[in-house]
Amino acid sequence: MVLPRLLRTSSFRLTLAYAGLFGASVFILFGVIYWATDIYITRSLDAAVDSDFTELGNSLNAGGHALLADQIHDRLRQMPRGPMHYLLQDRNGNVIAGDLLSLDHGSGRFDIAPNDRGSHTGHEPPVRARGAALSDGDYLLVGIDAHSREEMHELILRAFGWGSAITLILAFGGGALLSGGLLRRIETINRAVRDIMAGDFSRRIPVRGADDEFDHLVTSLNAMLDRIQSSMESVRQVSNDIAHDLRTPLTRLRQRLERAQHRAKSPAEWQTAADCIAEMDAILDTFGALLRIAQIESGAAACHFGGTDLSYLLRTIAEVYEPMADEKGQSFKAEIPCSLTVWGDRELLGQMLANIIENAMKHSPPGARIGLVTTASPTEIKVAVTDSGPGIPAGERSNVFRRFYRIESSRSTPGSGLGLSLVEAIARLHQVSVDLADNDPGLRVTLGFPPPGSIHTTRPVQRAPEPID
């Protein structure tokens, strides 16, 4: 597939246009040369014919037809192979003297084709001639072999042929070379960018050192990547700081509550402490989910991505949730093909799928149908989670991924409003598309996994440096 790709490059198209332009110039140039040379040679042939014609005219004036015929015989005897040719014929077309066929040539200057001149070998050149009727009605024609002009024509045409061929070869070869070079450099950038997207954030695009536009572009890209990486690291740092500075006092707080519960002197006290702990755990859940979303969005988790058995994961998830649906009086149907593999983190993918399924089950009434349908094609693996619940109005669909967003109708059901934000963060990290559609009735959430191998890095991914504790 290298050649068609080469043909599609903009530099190759440019080359093609240049080749066309050069070809046209070469064509015009040779045309002009051809035309000018033709005029020049024809003129010199005509000059030679004219001088002989004038001489013979003088002979005619001096000695009449007899002398003219003698002169013609003499000249043909001296130079039987040309270059001069003559024809003297009477008004009835009978040849009096000369070596050309009697033809009705008319007067003026013209060319006689080899066939019309009475060719013997077939290799004679055409003749450039001048004919004129004499005063007594006879006709005199003087001609000269035009092979110099023929040779020149041939030479020019051959030169034109070679010239065009070389121009085209140079144009295409140069174009391919140029495009190939550009393509290689772009491919280098592409490969680096793909590796970076796959989680190798320390990767940089190599600079060639030629200080050309490409190097400038690559330098800018690398500077951009540095900025992104440093902001990602600062997100990570902030997460770690939050983890440390907030989790430690929260840990103490929870411990004190547990202790208070332990030492409770009455059931009422015990219950108060238990309620506080439950409230605290709800806060910690939200806090944990926010932190987790931030960590996922920083992309650090992509460092330990690996081939994940999606079929097995889906079967596990289906097994875990099927009895739950049963308990709620909902039907649960799973269609999972065997041996599907995707690139990612099993834990995160599991959480994403669980969140979507829990969402479907939570918002659907008893009797609803929950589906987990997976279809695989060579280009994509699609996992659809369907329910027959109330669905999400079309206008609300893009909002549900927003943090803490809850649609009006679901405010009474418990939940933090972070479940789908987490789904979106995990999906984006895995380059998985999330599509919400009407299941008529209900909601259909479709996850589109990229084909296995497409986000596979070409080289082993480096592990992220461990956080400094």
Partner 1 sequence: MKILVIEDDAETADYVANGLREEGHLVASVASGSEALTIAMEENFDLLIVDRMIPGLDGLRLVRALRVADRDMPVLFLTALGAIEDRVSGLNAGGDDYLVKPFAFSELAARVAALGRRPRMTATEVSLRVHDLELDLLSRTARRCGELIDLQPREYRLLEYLMRHAGQVVTRTMLLEHVWDLYFDPRTNVVETHVSRLRSKVDKGFGPELIHTVRGSGYCLRGPA
Q: Note the residues at the interface with partner 1 (CB under 8 A).
A: 239-240, 243-244, 247-248, 250-255, 258-259, 274, 277, 280-281, 284-285, 288, 291-292, 295, 300-301, 303-304, 316-317, 319-321, 323-324, 327, 345, 347-348, 350-351, 354, 358, 361-362, 414-415, 419, 464, 466-469
Output 152 or 280, the one with its CB closest to partner 1.
Answer: 280
Contact 426, 270 (CB under 8 A): no
| 252 class by beta-carbon count within 10 Å (0-12 exposed, 13-18 middle, 19+ buried) | exposed
Q: Least distance from C-beta 376 to partner 1, angstroms?
A: 23
Between the alpha carbon of residue 212 and those of residues 175, 182, 185, 186, 218, the distances in Å are 19, 12, 12, 14, 10
Name the 3-class secondary structure at 127. strand
If the CB atoms of residues 317 and 383 are measured against partner 1, the closer one turns out to be 317
376 versus 464: smaller Cβ distance to partner 1: 464
Which amino acid, residue 219?
A: T
Quick one: 83 or 415, whose CB is closer to partner 1?
A: 415
Radius of gyration for the alpha carbons in the chain, expressed in angstroms and rounded: 47
Matching residue, tokens 């690291």: 233
CB nearer to partner 1: give 225 or 300: 300
CB of 241 to partner 1, least distance (A): 10
Instruction: Classify 381 as helix, strand or coil.
Output: strand
CB 76 within 8 A of CB 98: yes
| 57: its two tokens | 């005219």
- Residue 367: CB minimum distance to partner 1, A: 18
Which of 134, 294 has the CB closer to partner 1?
A: 294
The rounded Cα 270 to chain-centroid distance in angstroms is: 69
Six token digits for residue 373: 């349908």
Residues 176/434, Cβ–Cβ less than 8 Å = no
For residue 418, the minimal CB distance to partner 1 (Å) is 10
Nearer Cβ to partner 1, position 69 or 420? 420
- Helix H or strand E encompassing 385: strand 381-386
Phi/psi class of residue 429: alpha, beta or left (left: φ > 0; alpha: ψ in -120 to 50)? Answer: alpha
Strands 341-344 and 331-335: unpaired
Minimum CB separation of residue 233 from partner 1 in Å reads 14
Least Å distance, CB 339 to partner 1, is 18
Q: Bridge partners of 370?
A: 332
CB of 192 to partner 1, least distance (A): 23
Closest distance to partner 1 from the beta carbon of 424 (Å): 16
CB closer to partner 1, 302 vs 392: 302
Residue type, 450: P
Which CB atom, from 148 or from 295, has the smaller least distance to partner 1? 295
The vertex-262 CA angle with 260 and 265, nearest 5°, equals 80
Q: Under the phi-then-psi rule, with left for phi > 0, alpha for psi from -120 to 50, and beta for the rest, what region is 341?
A: beta
The sign of the torsion formed by the CA atoms of 71, 73, 79, 84 equals positive
CB of 200 to partner 1, least distance (A): 14
Q: Write down the least CB distance from residue 358 to partner 1, Å.
A: 5
Q: Which is nearer to partner 1, 42 or 261 (CB)?
A: 261
Q: Name the one residue in this structure whose structure tokens are 């140039």.
A: 29
